[in-house]
Amino acid sequence: MIHVTRREHFNAAHRMYREEWSAEKNAEVFGKCANPNWHGHNYNLFVTVKGEVTHATGYLIDLKELKEIIHKYVIDKLDHSNINKDVDFMAGKMASTELLCIEIFNQLKGPVEAYEGVFLHSVKLHETENNSAEYFGG
Ligand SMILES: Nc1nc2c(c(=O)[nH]1)N=C([C@H](O)[C@H](O)COP(=O)(O)OP(=O)(O)OP(=O)(O)O)CN2
């Protein structure tokens, strides 16, 4: 069993707030992240797949193909987007690092595992240099 990781990058805007809460409560819970002016992050995404190496190629999966999957299902939707407003798989969800990480995993699981013998192991998402979330499914 080998683990192979592809790193990707996207820029996106978001805001942490709940419509049903007052401005005061949003500010109390989310601090500067609730500011009505949207703010952006330079996100770094790490997608790890696992399985056995194919003898003939020495590959688990061609990383060019993994890149294309990540772009089609995730990056093309998120890059230069407003996560709260523009991204179909985040509709109705809080734009936190945790939920974004989980939903990216859910987007990628089917397309990655359409490759025989390839399994999605984890998705790790850095919102800032210091803040990240990692999801292993389930
Ligand atoms: N559990 C979570 N907590 C927070 C999240 C989150 O997604 N999940 N998000 C935020 C903010 O959106 C943002 O990530 C924090 O920004 P900031 O405090 O500026 O983070 P830095 O790493 O740049 O700041 P340092 O304190 O200088 O490390 C807040 N909480």
- Return the SS3 of 10: strand
Q: Which residue spans within 67-131 are E strands per DSSP?
A: 81-82, 118-126
Domain membership of residue 107 (yes or no) is yes
Order of strands, sheet of 2-14, starting from the edge strand that comes earlier in the sequence: 81-82, 2-14, 39-51, 118-126, 132-135
Q: How many domains does the chain have?
A: 1
Nearest ligand 1 atom, CA 14: 12
Domain membership of residue 60 (yes or no) is yes
Domain membership of residue 24 (yes or no) is no
Q: How far is the CA of 24 from the centre of ligand 1 (A)?
A: 19
Domain membership of residue 15 (yes or no) is no
Q: How far is the CA of 129 from the centre of ligand 1 (A)?
A: 9
Is 0.90 surpassed by the pTM of this model? yes
Is 57 in contact with 127 (CB distance < 8 Å)? no
Domain membership of residue 78 (yes or no) is yes
Query: What phi and psi values does residue 58 have, to the nearest 5 degrees?
Result: 75, 5
What CATH number does residue 81 fall under? 3.30.479.10
| Angstrom distance (rounded) from CA 4 to CA 119 | 10
- Residue-range definition of the domain harbouring residue 101: 2-9+40-135
Domain membership of residue 68 (yes or no) is yes
Question: Is the Cβ atom of 97 under 6 angstroms away from ligand 1?
Answer: yes
Nearest ligand 1 atom, CA 16: 12
Q: How far is CA 114 from CA 65, 104, 111, in A?
A: 12, 16, 5
Domain membership of residue 56 (yes or no) is yes
Question: Is the Cβ atom of 98 under 6 angstroms away from ligand 1?
Answer: yes
pLDDT tens for each residue of the chain, 138 residues long: 999 999 999 999 999 999 999 999 999 999 999 998 999 999 999 999 999 999 999 999 999 999 999 999 999 999 999 999 999 999 999 999 999 999 999 999 999 999 999 999 999 999 999 999 999 998
Domain membership of residue 116 (yes or no) is yes
Question: Is the Cβ atom of 86 under 6 angstroms away from ligand 1?
Answer: no
**Whole-complex ipTM:** 0.90
